Each structure stands twice: as C-alpha cells, then as structure tokens.
Amino acid sequence: MCRLCTAKSPRWVSRRAFMLAAGAVVAGPAVSQVDVGGSSPLRSLVPATEIEQVAAKEYGELLQKARAKGALANEGNAQLRRLRSISSRLIADAPRWNPRARQWRWEVNLIGSDSVNAFCMPGGKIAVFTGLIEKLRATDDELAMVVGHEIAHALREHARERIAKSQGTGALLSLGAQLFGLGQLGDVAADIGTQLLTLKFSRDDEIEADLVGLEMGARAGFDPQASISLWDKMARVSGAGGGPAFLSTHPSGPDRMRRLAENIPRVQGLYRQAMGNR
C-alpha cells in the first residue's frame, strides 16, 4: 500500500506495520494494456526475501493485536468471505506483474475499525478495514479497485525503490551484506521499519498503481468504471469532514479520475472477455 496515515487508524496498529504494507519484491515488465515502467536496478540492492520476512512478522503481530481487541473477523464472517473471494480473483493474475508472486503465501484479513483504509504487505499480506467497506458502501467492483491498487504497489516494488533512493547505494550495500547473514537480522528489520516510517510514494508510483490495479481488476472480471465511482465516493467521504486515512497518501482529484477515465477503454476488452469466461 501507499504510506498510510495512522492518525485515524486503530491505536493498537503499529506505524511500522502500516509502512511495511508498502513493500514489494522483484518486479518485471508485464504484458499489459496500460503503460507501466520497468523495474529500477536500485531495488535489487534491498533483498526481497528479507523484507518479506520482516513484513510477515509485522503482519502476524498486527493480527494478534486485532484478535486480542476482538477486531479480527473470524472465518465465518460474511464480509471476510466476500473480501477473500474478490481478492482471490485478483491474486490469480498477480504473477503477470511479478513472477515472485507465485511463491508468496497470500493472506487476506478483515479488521473491524472505522478507519477507511487497506493495504498489501510484502509477500501478499492483505488487510482491509471495515470502515472502508461500510463508509464507502463499496460494491464488489469498487472494493476490487482498492485491493488491486494496493496489490499493485507491492507487485511493482515501489517500496524497495523508495528505500533504495533514500538510503543511497553505499548504505544499501552494507544493509544487503547484513541481510545476507553478516549482521543481526533483528537490527536490520528495525532499520527497514524506520525507513518505511518516512516512506512516501511518488506521483509516478501512484499513477502506476492506479493503472496496474485497473487492469488487474478488468482481467479478473471487475468493471473498470468502478475506479471512477470509487474515487468519487472517496472525495465525498473526505468532504463530509476529516477525510479518510486512505486519502492522506492517495491524493484524489480531477487529474487522477481523468487519467483513469482515459485508460478505461484500453481495458474494456479484457473486462468483456473475463465476463464472457465466467
């Protein structure tokens, strides 16, 4: 996910857990209908497997805290079943954008909170807050656009690039040596968490996540027009006072909606094909 603001998130959710949701692994060029860039060579300086290990630990702690608060949806929860059904269709196409996604141990969970938020951690660790579903009255198509956007950030390794650029090559080479066994993993994990605390994705990262998420949704049989209605609802919720946490790092506005609208025709054929195969 993008760097998520925790001001409106449950107090028991650590900032580092949210920041790790921005992480990703080795991404390669995909055969797509939208224009996405290639993978930055800087990303290779931050080992993907170690970031995934840190993220898995943080995700597990997050779920443990949610469970202790009675906020973690159980397996029989209807909204969780709905979320997992939507996510599974998106996940099926994830290797198109990142071959490593085949190895990820995907998890999808629903957390009870008024926060309008969602994220995907490295290794396919997805969580959605009930506030996003309920306050937006999100349809399946709209929810797919949110989850697809967050998955796209992970698949396109935006966090690894941000970390690489922020630390500098020399520091990253040292970090890489530590991660490969020449230092203490716990210390390095804390360092990664610190980096992610100040992580903010670029405008290009946001654009790419929008477009990749749009195509993923279309290929999975979700109406791409929902990308427009989703951001319209986000703007309405924001105008109602305070604004959702999601918008703190997912700026809305005419440019975003215009760009999505321009790209919808490029993926309509994929959507129709997916609907025809269902």
Positions annotated as catalytic residues are 150
**Residues 21/162, Cβ–Cβ less than 8 Å:** no
Strand-pair partners of 118: 128
Residue whose C-alpha is closest to residue 227's, from 115, 106, 144 = 144
φ, ψ of residue 255 in degrees (nearest 5): -65, -45
**Residues 89/220, Cβ–Cβ less than 8 Å:** yes
- Give the containing element (helix H, strand E) for 25: none
Q: Catalogue the E-assigned strands of the chain.
A: 107-111, 118-121, 125-129
**Residues 120/151, Cβ–Cβ less than 8 Å:** yes
Q: Which two tokens stand for residue 1?
A: 């996910």
The span from the CA of 210 to the CA of 162, in Å, is 18
Q: How buried is residue 182: exposed, middle or buried, by Cβ count under 10 Å (0-12/13-18/19+)?
A: exposed
Q: How buried is residue 256: exposed, middle or buried, by Cβ count under 10 Å (0-12/13-18/19+)?
A: buried
The span from the CA of 238 to the CA of 252, in Å, is 10
The span from the CA of 80 to the CA of 86, in Å, is 10
> Sign of the C-alpha dihedral, residues 246, 198, 148, 68?
negative
DSSP 72: B
